[in-house]
Amino acid sequence: MSTTNLIVLSDLHLADGRNVLEGFHARQQAAFEGLLQAALPGGSLGNASPATLIVNGDCFDFLAVAPYLPNGYETPAIALGKLEEIAAAHQPFFHALQQFLDSGGTVVFIPGNHDIELCFAQVQQRLAQLIDPAQRYGARLAFCQDQSYQPLPDVYIEHGHQYDFWNHADGLWDKRGKTLNPQPAEIALPLGTQYLHCAALPINLRYPYFDHFEPLFSIPRQIALLSILDPALVLEVARQIPRMMSYIHTPLKLLTPGDELVPARLFLAAIPEFAIFQQDMLAQQPEWEEVEAWLYSQDEREQKQAAAQEEFFTLCAALDQPPEASIQSIFQIGPEAVEDGTTRGMHNVLRAHPDLRVAVAGHTHSLRHDQVTDGQVYLNTASWTVRQVPPAPDEITPAVLAWLRQPDLEKSPARDVTGAFFVWVSAEAGQPASGRLCAWEGGSAGSYRILS
């Protein structure tokens, strides 16, 4: 009896290797090579036939590669230039894919919010040339044109960004998730990408730990911490965000000279600017109301709003303390699970389609294994990028404070929880599929471990 084996991973974030935005390094490459070898016949995954590798979004981080686009639109020409930079920095990655295909494997790419450029036909063609220069693999190297991919009747895979207001893509797919245009001439970048390019890039470059903390720091917590560590940067970002707004807005009008040196006052002046910005972005995306209503009930939306207000007042109170105590309070993050839009969206997909058994997403950078209904499971493959646990309040020592001000990711005091995660889906002919959340450990000569 034949068995289908699928290896699903996401969020590798290959960039151009030139700054801290790069997400794929030597240890990720070694794990990738080991996993691909294990997925071939005779490998440790025990397959009788080569597996299919499904790269479920954010394989390539076009967002992190210059030029950064303040006008909010990507074109094939710009995307191709970025792809050449990525390819030059990651030749071993493309070689590993070629070897996998040479041995009979299949590779499928699904677009994410960081590589929405995979929707360009020209980018697909160039990637195929990089991976398959002799054009030998045919349909065994494929690109998903739709929002989601169903390799088996009861297996559903998508990146998950379409359930995230700041990272969903407009104009590419219809309400069923089918492609509207297989050869777009330009793509409107997600609002989160535009925000990074227009305003927040200096935060990511100077304080990269925000992008690597697990759990992620919310924007209010970031602004609270930066109000202590780098008030000039808070002012810089607050003054840049109106560039994306639909009307002329003068930020920080209530901030009097000298108040920027008082963290509590700076925070009280800056956070309303982000709220005004978000309200304008929502007004520019009226169709999101329908998506959010599908994701959350009115009561749940009100609960989310109440939780955001509570966090705001908690941070205001924290910033009234001396700096070290303020930072300890900012790092007081509760143990509750994050209820993100991606999780809610994938749960809803499963409930709406009782014939599905396995749904897989990425995007959130957080592992997830949820038994949604009897016989239905949602799995999230997290990320292969650097992940670190934020210091606990009692770990905020003078040395940690110095690192927070001038971070070096190679010498981080935070506990490293980086992993090479994937979902292994298997199905015997005529039988339901099953999915297991796994981690690859030990580099190119390593082995897999089943997490759930």
Task: Summarize the confidence of residues 274-280 as an average pLDDT.
Answer: 96
Nearest CA to 407 out of 114, 239, 205 is that of 205
Q: pTM for the whole thing? A: 0.96
Read off the tokens for 340: 């993100």
Q: What is the arithmetic mean of pLDDT over 266-292?
A: 96
At residue 69, the pLDDT reads 85
Please give the average per-residue pLDDT across 276-293, as a whole number. 96
- Tell me the domains of the chain and their CATH numbers: 3-192+338-390+410-450 (3.60.21.10), 217-330 (no CATH)
Look-up of token digits 């699928």? 6
Confidence (pLDDT) at 255: 93
The DSSP output letter for 139 is G
Please report which confidence band the pLDDT of residue 251 belongs to, taking 50, 70 and 90 as the band edges.
very high
The per-residue pLDDT for 216 is 86
Q: How confident is the model at residue 282 (pLDDT cuts 50, 70, 90)?
A: very high
| pLDDT > 70 in the chain, percent | 99
* pLDDT value of residue 125: 97
* CA distances from residue 82 to 7, 117, 128, 388, 450 in whole angstroms, order as listed: 27, 10, 16, 28, 36
- Residue 64 CA to residue 234 CA, distance in Å, equals 21
- Please write the tens of the pLDDT for every residue from 107-140: 999 999 999 999 999 999 999 999 999 989 999 9
Confidence of residue 253 (pLDDT cuts 50, 70, 90): very high
Of 24-28, 283-287, 338-342, minimum mean pLDDT range: 338-342
Residue 147 confidence (pLDDT) above 50: yes
pLDDT interval class at 399 (50, 70, 90): very high
The string of pLDDT tens digits covering residues 311-326 is 999 999 999 999 999 9
* pLDDT value at 70 more than 90: no
Q: What is the mean pLDDT of residues 425-445?
A: 95
Cα atoms in the Cβ-side hemisphere of radius 13 Å centred on 202: 16
Three state DSSP letters for 325-394: HHHHHHCCCCCCCCCCHHHHHHHHHHHHCCCCCEEEECCCCCEEEEEEECCEEEEEECCCCCCEECCCHH
State the pLDDT at residue 337: 45
Helix axes 298-319, 323-330, angle to 10 degrees: 160
How far apart CA 181 and CA 235 sit, in angstroms, is: 41
The number of residues making up the chain comes to 452
Distance, CA of 105 to chain centre: 26
pLDDT tens-digit profile of 195-234? Answer: 999 999 999 999 999 999 998 899 999 999 999 999 999 9
pLDDT at 406: 96
Is the Cβ–Cβ distance between 56 and 379 less than 8 Å?
no
For the chain, what is the mean pLDDT? 95
DSSP assignment of 144-158: --SSEEEEETTEEEE
Query: Residue 335's pLDDT is what?
Result: 57
pLDDT band at 71 (very low <50, low <70, confident <90, very high): confident
- With a cut of 60, say whether residue 95 has pLDDT above it: yes
Per the DSSP assignment, residues forming a β-bridge with 40 are: none
What average pLDDT does this structure show over 34-41? 96
Amino acid sitting at position 109? F
Give residue 201's Cα distance to chain centre: 16
* Cα–Cα–Cα angle for 284, 111, 55, rounded to 5 degrees: 150
